[in-house]
Amino acid sequence: MIFRLIQEMRLFSFFIIVGLILNSCKEPVQESSIDKKVEKVIVFDKKYVHDFDSKDADCMKEYKRAIRDIENNKLVFAEFGIFQKYEDEFIELLKKDGIEYDFLGENCTGLSNCYGYCMDSVICKRFGENYIQKLLKKAHEISDSRWKSKVYNYFEVDENAIYPNTNDAVQVEDILLKEFILPKDWKYGKMKNNEREYVSIKIVVDQNGKAQTISNELFTHNIKPENRRYMKYLKDELKRVIEEMKLWKPAIINGHKVKSEEYIDITFN
C-alpha cells in the first residue's frame, strides 16, 4: 500500500512539473536583463519571471552555469519530475538532437530551476516553441509501440493486472499472508511509535499472467531489531509465495496484454 502511495505522489509531482515545463516554451514576453551578453538569447515566459531572481544567489549560480554550458554548445533538458511511462524514449529523442537529459530529483520544497529555465529558452528558440510538446507526444507513441517487450508501471496501463478473486492490493496482501510462513520464534507485537512491520517487493506480471521476481527487484522492509536476523529468510519466503501464486489477469494497454510492475506488500502487525 505504501508503495502505491509513493508512486501516486511521484505521478502527481510529475504532472505538475510537466505542466510547468511545457508552459516555459509558450509566449516569451520578457527578456532577462541580468546578463547583457546573452540577453538576445535568454527569453523567459512571464510565468517564470518572478522565479528568476537576480538577487537569489542559488538562482544566479544555476543561471551562470547554464550560460557556460550554452557557450560550450551543451544543451540540457533539466527537470524535477519523471516521465515514468516514456522517459527512456524521451531521452532517446533528446539525444538525437544533441540534448542531454538531467533528472534533478524530487522537488517537494518549491525549489526553482533557473538552470532549466535558461536551457528551455534556448532549446525553444533553436528547435521551436512546440518542440518539447512534440517530443513528448512522439516519445509516448514510441513507448506504446513497444508493448511486446516493455514493462509498464501499474498506473501507466489502461487496465491493471488483477489477481483472481481480488479487487485491490489489500485483498492480495491477505491472501499472501495466509501462505506466508513466519519463523517459529518470530517476535510478535508492536514496533516503536506504532510503526508498520512489513516486507515488500517489486514483481513483474507478464503477458501470460505469471508473477515473477526480477534480479534487480525493489525489496524494502521495516522489521523489529529482534526479527532482523530473518531478513534473508523473509525475502526468500516472499519470493516462494509469489512464485506459487495463481496466474494473474495481465495488464492491458491499447487492447494488448502487457508486462507490468506490481508491488507485493505484507504487514506482520
* pLDDT tens string 155-188: 788 898 999 888 877 888 888 888 999 999 999 8
227 and 187 in contact (C-beta within 8 Å)?
yes
Confidence of residue 53 (pLDDT cuts 50, 70, 90): low
Which is more confidently placed, 212 or 20?
212
Query: What are the residues whose beta carbons fall under 8 Å from the beta carbon of 78, sequence distance 6 or more?
Result: 102, 104, 113, 115, 116, 119
Q: Measured between alpha carbons, how far is 4 from 52 in angstroms, rounded to an integer?
A: 35
The pTM of the full predicted model, rounded to 2 decimals, is 0.63
| Interval 16-33 mean pLDDT | 44
Cell of 37: 551578453
Kindly state the cell numbers that stand for 149.
Answer: 517487450
| pLDDT tens digits for range 107-139 | 554 566 788 888 888 888 888 878 988 999 999
pLDDT band at 31 (very low <50, low <70, confident <90, very high): very low
Q: What is the mean pLDDT of the chain?
A: 78
**pLDDT at 25 (0 to 100):** 52
pLDDT single digits (tens) 205-231: 999 999 987 755 678 889 999 999 999
Write b or e for each residue in 131-170: b if 16 or more Cβ atoms lie within 10 A of its Cβ, otherwise e.
bbeebbeebeebbbeebeebebbbebbeebbbbeeeeebe
